[in-house]
Chains A and B, each alone.
Chain A
Amino acid sequence: MTPRKPSSGSHGHGKDKLLRVLRGSKDLTQRTRRTSVTSVLNLFRRQRTQRNDGQERVPSHEEGTVPRVASGRSSRCAWLVLAAFVAAAMLWAARIPSPEAAPLGPQMSAAAEPEYLTPVEVKLSPDGAKLYIVCEGSDSLLALDTRTRQVVAQVKVGDKPRGIALSPDARTIYVSNSWSDTVSEVDAATFKVRRTLKTGWCPVGLITDPPGKTLYVANSIGDDVSVIDLATGEDTKRFRTRHYPEQVTLSRDGRRVYVSNVLPLPTAYDQPPASELLVINAQKQTVAERVLVPGVIELRHIAEAPARLGSYLLVPFVRPKNLGPLIQVGQGWVLTHGIAVVRPSAVSATEGGKSRVTEVLLDDIDYYFAGNEGVAFTPDGRQALVTAAQANVVSVVDTVRLARRLREVPSEELADRLDSAETIVAYRLPTGHSPSSVEVAPDGRVAYIANRLDDSLTVIDLARRRVAGTVDLGGPKEITLLRRGEQLFNSAKYCFQGQFACATCHPNSHLDGLAWNLETPQLGRDRVANRTLRGVRETGPYKWSGKNPDLATQCGPRIAKFLFRSEGFNTQELEALLTYLNNIPLAPNRHLAADGQLTEAQERGKAVYYRTHKNDGTVIPIQNRCDTCHPADSHYTNKLSADVGTATKFDTSGLFDTPQLDRVYEDAPYLHDGEALTLEEIWTVFNNKDTHGITSDMSKEQLNDLIEFLKTL
């Protein structure tokens, strides 16, 4: 189908008013930030940076910060090349690594930072009297009296809590602690932690079964679901997931547990993504189906419609067009946002069952609502609320109209139709910063939305279709530079038509698991894999090409010109954003023992990593040793570009930035274009000529050991 052209005439007066509310008091296109942006541009234009090959690059007006090689200075170039060569050789010589070198550089201290609450999840008690709020920033659980809208209790839980579940009798609250790898079991009456249960790595979403005997916990980094026997507290078994599971929901009949995954299935880099919704048979405790949701990533919360409406599921998603040039932002369609309508099969997949999936976009033609995250039905199922965390909006979907839309438009068309929202979205309301989770009261009158970066709740009056109020949860009033930066990182309003935020492609400040056709206007050329932002400080230069010497270059005018297709961030905003980026922490290393002691395999792998001789005794040239390009004293990157033989015919250059290796096990896919889906493939498939370290002489055991060591970094 042909996309419809944006037409301002297709929107009513009320909608224009709403858009103005959403975009701020001034229209984005009329904002007068041009002066400050220009000054930043000039600042960067004045900078002359040195590339590692010694060539001078002078950003031109036309190219923004894209470097170009200075011409007509051949002799000077030759000297520079020579100087660079000597410098590089000295660097290598000076960086004979010590195996005992500290594995991590320092993170910027955030000690002076006030403790924000950062409410990420809300859960109502069955009677609606209490709203429990999980606060990731303050490592706490709050209880709000919904009548007085006052916080009446709070308790400290584990590190970075992310999810919440209630026991069927509502006497127990379970909170997942994503960095502690535990669940805190909280007594709802006394609000004290009764016990702490061990889970897999990075627990997020969780739910109990109807009898309250079993707890299902999605372990995001572990890529599995723990099944915890609540009588013994033991993690009895795990279901494998793919990839980064986060949210868990129990079907209303208690028969199924649904688990959504944030990152897509590992797929060939030139194929469109697909994500998985795991369906667990809660009675048999077996996997019933792995539902493929094609073309989308970042499946978030899951809501099930009442049985009389068919018990279908709504799952928010992001639909990226990563195979086409991102230069197309101006034409829209690069990143759209919507909900998957999943009609689960009555029988398991092995019995031939197959759930039906239809994708519907919630964006408007000329303005997008990025970061769909929370979703909840009203008790009668006639409305579904979907939070757009990067647009600071909640969209209220009329499910009767949604059902009609699904009947009228072929399923295969709907996923790309930007005119659905006109039909199915009843209204939209503004929220605070980063509305992440939504709960509707049992009487269906109000809804509560957790504003993650505002330390507040937005209360929606569903009868009057308006914001009934905002509840201040009591976090610090001061908005620090770092906090402001995090808000900016999660805000799509700096992008043309609000299409996406930094966080859209970097969910949880990480990566989206995709390779993107970022800048080259040629279809399929120079695709590059997304890279994590965790621990990104001091790992510059940035980009796979290594063109951006620092984050300011990466995120300043370049972002505006090439990605956001807008004016981007002003000087103050850029400073705040950089402060945030420089403080994105690395998660605890799950492969390293608490005392830092390496296992036997890791020790053997360490010896391989630092080896100087091949198995046959011949010396490995210094430039071919792992630690030459990935030295321990600088996040395992020498910050230089190298040609490791991974370029394909679609790449303009074979030189790519040497990536840092901190928490490398979290960062699949690998290599510049994401061709290597696993760490093993880096060497087994893409290093046939020993250009990416000498590995051809290694036994399989040695390679496995090496990988076990890499996971400890």
Chain B
Amino acid sequence: MKRILTANWLLALAGAALTAMALAGTARAASTPRPHLITRWENFTTANGMPDAKVFCVTVDGERVWAGTEDGLVLIEHGKVARVFKTEDGLAHRVVMGIALDQATGDLWIATFGGVSHFSGGRFENFTNLTSGLLNDICYGIAVQDKFVWVTTTAGVSRYNTYTGEWTNWSEKNAPFHEPWTYGVAIADNIGKIYFAMWGGGLIEYDQVQKYMKAYTDPDEEMELVLFKNQGLVHIIVSNVAYNPDTKMVWASTYFGLSGYDGRNWHNYLNKDSGLASDFINAPKTRRNEVWNCTDKGLSYLDYKTNTWVNYRPDKNTGHGEIEIVWPDKTKTKLETPTALAHNYILNMDFQGEDIWVATAQGLSHGIREIQKENQLYASARNRRSPGKDAPAHSQEGR
């Protein structure tokens, strides 16, 4: 009898322990980050209507999608290439590097290697170094800010006042540009700033109220090393810039890592100590708690709040899509999707609701989020994930 009681007591203890373990597991599962996943890819390539394989930029306009390629401007509509606009249609140059949608008018402002095109009502109006006050015809980035159009060029920054026709230029002659070669522009209206990505010149901040420019450069001034942790921009070769009005953070992509700046502190990410797919980043995009990085080794997503990374790239052997989740504790989970990005060399991207559009070196990819498939993938991920310790955001080491 005593033996039976002891056995019962042991069973109860074991049950309680199991229950406690189960409860603990449930609690852990509930706190696990779960970034949403792109589960399907539809690609637009030269095989289905794109004029050129290399897609430099993409801009979502409601249900429409505009893509800039090495040979013209493309309109994607109703799931297909609806129209292609080339120089014979009036486009300033075949190489389209940037597209900005004027939300107020529905017009597009387009940065090309032959100046700026304004596309409105089916017609182009072009601005070049010879016909206007544009600083240089090699234009990379473009942004619309109310009545102003900002253009980044190889010779500096140009601003066009669409109401008065006035052009204002900033270059090494009148601004703190270590190098005039400017790649990207991001409007940060809710903090009164505009940011410029300078190739070799760091990140430039323009204060709209005080009307002055301030340069953020790499404090250690090392081209290949990052010696000081979070003390400034990770590198002065800044390839592009994005501003997140929700978090009031500016993100600068460099060829040597990612830098985020919240107005007080810098938050830097490298491939070696974070989930970043590659330090060579062509452009960042950001919204909510998301920072998407267009790298040479795939599309690298950071959930900034939970410090979880998701990397997308095509598997060259199978042609399937590879999803790599890097959890906050640095453990990794690899998943597979039947479809994949058009290429791992990513140049740009944009959001369309929960979907994304990605410009790659081999076509334009439409990334689609399917909730059911996402749940299935997470279910399979639970089985494969190696347990680890959750890390708070921005606690990475080694920068």
Known: A350-B83, A352-B82. A700 touches B133 (CB 8 A): yes
Interface centre among A242, A680, A703 (most CB of B within 10 A): A680
Kindly identify, within residues 79 to 112 of chain B, every residue whose CB is under 8 Å from any CB belonging to chain A.
82-83, 104-107
Per-residue B-contact encoding for A271-308, CB less than 8 Å = 1, 0 else: 00000101101001111111010000000000000000
Q: How far is the CB of B59 from chain A (nearest CB, A)?
A: 13
Known: A287-B106, A700-B135. A279 touches B121 (CB 8 A): yes
Residues of A near B64 (CB, < 8 A) are 350
Task: Tell me if B166 is interfacial: C-beta within 8 Å of chain A.
Answer: yes
Give A222 to B162 CA distance when docked, in angstroms: 9
Q: How far is the CB of A514 from chain B (nearest CB, A)?
A: 19
Task: Tell me if B131 is interfacial: C-beta within 8 Å of chain A.
Answer: yes
Task: Tell me if A240 is interfacial: C-beta within 8 Å of chain B.
Answer: yes
**When the two chains form their complex, are residues A237 and B130 in contact, meaning their CB atoms are under 8 A apart?**
no
Residues of A near B77 (CB, < 8 A) are 351
**When the two chains form their complex, are residues B122 and A290 in contact, meaning their CB atoms are under 8 A apart?**
yes
**When the two chains form their complex, are residues A349 and B122 in contact, meaning their CB atoms are under 8 A apart?**
yes
Known: A224-B163, A237-B104, A238-B162. A349 touches B129 (CB 8 A): no
**When the two chains form their complex, are residues A601 and B82 in contact, meaning their CB atoms are under 8 A apart?**
no
Kindly identify, within residues 330 to 359 of chain A, every residue whose CB is under 8 Å from any CB belonging to chain B.
348-354
Residues of B near A432 (CB, < 8 A) are none
**Which range contains the number of A residues in contact with the other chain?**
35 or more
Residues of A near B397 (CB, < 8 A) are none
Give A236 to B104 CA distance when docked, in angstroms: 9
Residues of A near B82 (CB, < 8 A) are 351-352
**When the two chains form their complex, are residues B164 and A591 in contact, meaning their CB atoms are under 8 A apart?**
yes
**When the two chains form their complex, are residues A685 and B135 in contact, meaning their CB atoms are under 8 A apart?**
no
Known: A237-B105, A350-B75, A699-B173. A704 touches B133 (CB 8 A): yes
Give A677 to B169 CA distance when docked, in angstroms: 21
Task: Tell me if B247 is interfacial: C-beta within 8 Å of chain A.
Answer: no
Kindly identify, within residues 341 to 384 of chain A, every residue whose CB is under 8 Å from any CB belonging to chain B.
348-354
Task: Tell me if B189 is interfacial: C-beta within 8 Å of chain A.
Answer: no
**When the two chains form their complex, are residues A708 and B130 in contact, meaning their CB atoms are under 8 A apart?**
no
Known: A287-B107, A289-B121, A290-B123. A678 touches B129 (CB 8 A): no
Give A352 to B64 CA distance when docked, in angstroms: 13
Q: How far is the CB of A278 from chain B (nearest CB, A)?
A: 7
Task: Tell me if A681 is interfacial: C-beta within 8 Å of chain B.
Answer: yes
**Cβ-neighbour of A238 out of B122, B155, B163, B171 (below 8 A):** B163
Residues of A near B173 (CB, < 8 A) are 699, 701
Task: Tell me if A576 is interfacial: C-beta within 8 Å of chain B.
Answer: no
Q: How far is the CB of B138 from chain A (nearest CB, A)?
A: 13
Residues of B near A601 (CB, < 8 A) are 166, 168
Residues of A near B147 (CB, < 8 A) are 238
Residues of B near A482 (CB, < 8 A) are none
Give A701 to B136 CA distance when docked, in angstroms: 11
**When the two chains form their complex, are residues A701 and B163 in contact, meaning their CB atoms are under 8 A apart?**
no
Give A59 to B258 CA distance when docked, in angstroms: 79
Give A359 to B274 CA distance when docked, in angstroms: 67
Give A237 to B144 CA distance when docked, in angstroms: 12
Known: A350-B83, A684-B130. A240 touches B166 (CB 8 A): no
**When the two chains form their complex, are residues B169 and A701 in contact, meaning their CB atoms are under 8 A apart?**
yes
Task: Tell me if B167 is interfacial: C-beta within 8 Å of chain A.
Answer: yes
Residues of B near A352 (CB, < 8 A) are 82-83
Give A289 to B105 CA distance when docked, in angstroms: 12
**When the two chains form their complex, are residues B121 and A681 in contact, meaning their CB atoms are under 8 A apart?**
no
Task: Tell me if A239 is interfacial: C-beta within 8 Å of chain B.
Answer: yes
Kindly identify, within residues 235 to 278 of chain A, every residue whose CB is under 8 Å from any CB belonging to chain B.
236-240, 242, 276, 278
Query: Which secondary structure dominates chain A's binding surface?
Result: mixed
Residues of B near A224 (CB, < 8 A) are 162-163
Task: Tell me if A707 is interfacial: C-beta within 8 Å of chain B.
Answer: yes
**When the two chains form their complex, are residues A349 and B131 in contact, meaning their CB atoms are under 8 A apart?**
no
**Cβ-neighbour of A677 out of B75, B131, B133, B165 (below 8 A):** B131
**When the two chains form their complex, are residues B129 and A240 in contact, meaning their CB atoms are under 8 A apart?**
no
Q: How far is the CB of B316 from chain A (nearest CB, A)?
A: 37
Task: Tell me if B132 is interfacial: C-beta within 8 Å of chain A.
Answer: yes
Q: How far is the CB of A293 from chain B (nearest CB, A)?
A: 13
**When the two chains form their complex, are residues B125 and A240 in contact, meaning their CB atoms are under 8 A apart?**
yes
Q: How far is the CB of B252 from chain A (nearest CB, A)?
A: 26
Task: Tell me if B118 is interfacial: C-beta within 8 Å of chain A.
Answer: yes
**Cβ-neighbour of A700 out of B120, B122, B129, B164 (below 8 A):** B129
**Cβ-neighbour of A707 out of B75, B123, B133 (below 8 A):** B133
Task: Tell me if B174 is interfacial: C-beta within 8 Å of chain A.
Answer: yes
Task: Tell me if A119 is interfacial: C-beta within 8 Å of chain B.
Answer: no
Known: A292-B123, A350-B64, A591-B164. A286 touches B131 (CB 8 A): no
Task: Tell me if A200 is interfacial: C-beta within 8 Å of chain B.
Answer: yes
Give A701 to B122 CA distance when docked, in angstroms: 32
Q: How far is the CB of A264 from chain B (nearest CB, A)?
A: 14
Per-residue B-contact encoding for A669-713, CB less than 8 Å = 1, 0 else: 000000001101100110000000000000111011001100000
**When the two chains form their complex, are residues B131 and A681 in contact, meaning their CB atoms are under 8 A apart?**
yes
Give A43 to B77 CA distance when docked, in angstroms: 71
Per-residue A-contact encoding for B263-289, CB less than 8 Å = 1, 0 else: 000000000000000000000000000
**Cβ-neighbour of A284 out of B75, B106, B163 (below 8 A):** B106
Q: How far is the CB of B210 from chain A (nearest CB, A)?
A: 14
Residues of A near B125 (CB, < 8 A) are 240, 242
Give A701 to B155 CA distance when docked, in angstroms: 11
**When the two chains form their complex, are residues B120 and A290 in contact, meaning their CB atoms are under 8 A apart?**
yes
**When the two chains form their complex, are residues A703 and B106 in contact, meaning their CB atoms are under 8 A apart?**
no
List the A residue with the shortest CB-CB distance to B61.
A350
Give A590 to B163 CA distance when docked, in angstroms: 11
Known: A684-B129, A700-B169, A704-B133. A290 touches B121 (CB 8 A): yes
Q: How far is the CB of A237 from chain B (nearest CB, A)?
A: 4
List the A residue with the shortest CB-CB distance to B133.
A704
**When the two chains form their complex, are residues B130 and A239 in contact, meaning their CB atoms are under 8 A apart?**
no
Give A200 to B83 CA distance when docked, in angstroms: 34
**Cβ-neighbour of A288 out of B104, B118, B121, B174 (below 8 A):** B121
Give A685 to B136 CA distance when docked, in angstroms: 15
**When the two chains form their complex, are residues A684 and B131 in contact, meaning their CB atoms are under 8 A apart?**
yes
Give A601 to B211 CA distance when docked, in angstroms: 14
Interface centre among B107, B120, B132 (most CB of A within 10 A): B120
Residues of B near A701 (CB, < 8 A) are 169, 171, 173-174
Give A680 to B147 CA distance when docked, in angstroms: 21
Residues of B near A284 (CB, < 8 A) are 106
Give A349 to B124 CA distance when docked, in angstroms: 12
**Cβ-neighbour of B166 out of A289, A684, A708 (below 8 A):** A708
Give A591 to B165 CA distance when docked, in angstroms: 10
List the A residue with the shortest CB-CB distance to B85.
A350
**When the two chains form their complex, are residues A287 and B105 in contact, meaning their CB atoms are under 8 A apart?**
yes
Give A700 to B168 CA distance when docked, in angstroms: 10
**When the two chains form their complex, are residues B122 and A289 in contact, meaning their CB atoms are under 8 A apart?**
yes
Per-residue B-contact encoding for A627-647, CB less than 8 Å = 1, 0 else: 000000000000000000000
**Cβ-neighbour of B121 out of A236, A287, A591, A680 (below 8 A):** A287
Residues of A near B104 (CB, < 8 A) are 236-237, 285
**When the two chains form their complex, are residues B120 and A678 in contact, meaning their CB atoms are under 8 A apart?**
no
Give A141 to B204 CA distance when docked, in angstroms: 53
Residues of B near A707 (CB, < 8 A) are 133
Per-residue B-contact encoding for A587-601, CB less than 8 Å = 1, 0 else: 000110000000001
Per-residue B-contact encoding for A136-176, CB less than 8 Å = 1, 0 else: 00000000000000000000000000000000000000000
List 17 A-B pairs, Cβ < 8 Å: A222-B163, A236-B104, A238-B105, A238-B147, A240-B118, A285-B105, A287-B107, A289-B122, A290-B122, A352-B82, A353-B122, A591-B164, A601-B166, A681-B131, A700-B129, A700-B136, A707-B133
Sorted nearest first, the 7 A-B pairs with minimum C-beta distance are: A349-B122, A286-B106, A290-B121, A237-B104, A287-B121, A704-B133, A684-B130
Binding site for B on A (CB under 8 A): 200, 222, 224, 236-240, 242, 276, 278-279, 281, 284-290, 292, 348-354, 590-591, 601, 665, 677-678, 680-681, 684-685, 699-701, 703-704, 707-708
Q: Known pairs A286-B106, A287-B120, A353-B122. 13 more at Cβ < 8 A?
A: A238-B162, A239-B120, A240-B118, A276-B123, A286-B107, A350-B64, A350-B121, A351-B77, A352-B83, A354-B122, A590-B164, A681-B131, A701-B171
